[in-house]
Structure 1
């Protein structure tokens, strides 16, 4: 088992990057890797510790292929840190997987650090690629405004 860690800088203020992770109407515009979308009606984000963070990703070319996120928010420090725990269920390989997203701003730029685990070594590469793809979609979305 291991952790996935991704750091990415966005040319947008921290408040905008934060909003992209907590506002359902923004989440549906970027969440998931290229070739995937989010069912808008599936997004639930309850902005508090113990709140639900849920959505359903659907593969665009094969709508039968779906990946659910059914997490519980375990830490909520507005504009600073968001932590959720997903699982145990089949899609998390029966593990409880924690996703921690930290937001730091400097000179109007936001550094996002995402840490996810525990993950089996064999899924880290595909998970890393999926997150990089999704964050690329987020970067494109943010570039329309900043």
Structure 2
């Protein structure tokens, strides 16, 4: 198998931590920004059970090609309110038959929120595209938050 590595994306948002946190745990907000530009989330597909062992599920659909779909079917492995979310997704075709661990940490300073996302293991070959996808999704989240903060 290809050599594996870790993806780390850090982003600062001009919004308080509780608002950024809500964007990750409230299904109606998740559906508004999740996924890179050109992808939409089917709102009725979003499930977020706020507890360790809870489900975090959704279906992303490519805007110009409804047959292009990417599911997220993760289980929460950590839930520390306003501080940290972690989940495990896979193994299935979209995770390259791996179990992908995603950890998101939230830190607040002076009304701004620093978010750090870590995903592992990922093949080196997908790091660039995955990083671009997260940056694109976070730009959508930033635009959504800017409507309120």
Q: Give TM-score, length-normalised by structure 1.
A: 0.99
Alignment of 1:63-102 (within 5 A): 63-102=66-105
3-state SS in 2 of match to 1:48: coil
Partner of 1:125: 128
Equivalences, count: 146
Partner of 1:103: 106
Q: CA RMSD in A?
A: 0.3
Aligned-pair CA distance for 1:110: 0.2
Quick one: distance in 2 between partners of 1:30 and 1:132? Answer: 12
Partner of 2:147: 144
Partner of 1:24: 27
Quick one: distance in 2 between partners of 1:105 and 1:33? Answer: 25
3-state SS in 1 of match to 2:137: helix
Please tell me whether residue 56 in structure 1 is matched to residue 59 in structure 2.
yes
Q: Which runs of 5+ in 2 are unaligned?
A: none
Deviations 1:50-87 (A, max 9, x none): 00000000000000000000000000000000000000
- Runs of 4+ in structure 1 deviating by more than 4 angstroms, as ranges, are none
Deviations 1:21-63 (A, max 9, x none): 0000000100000000000111000000000000000000000
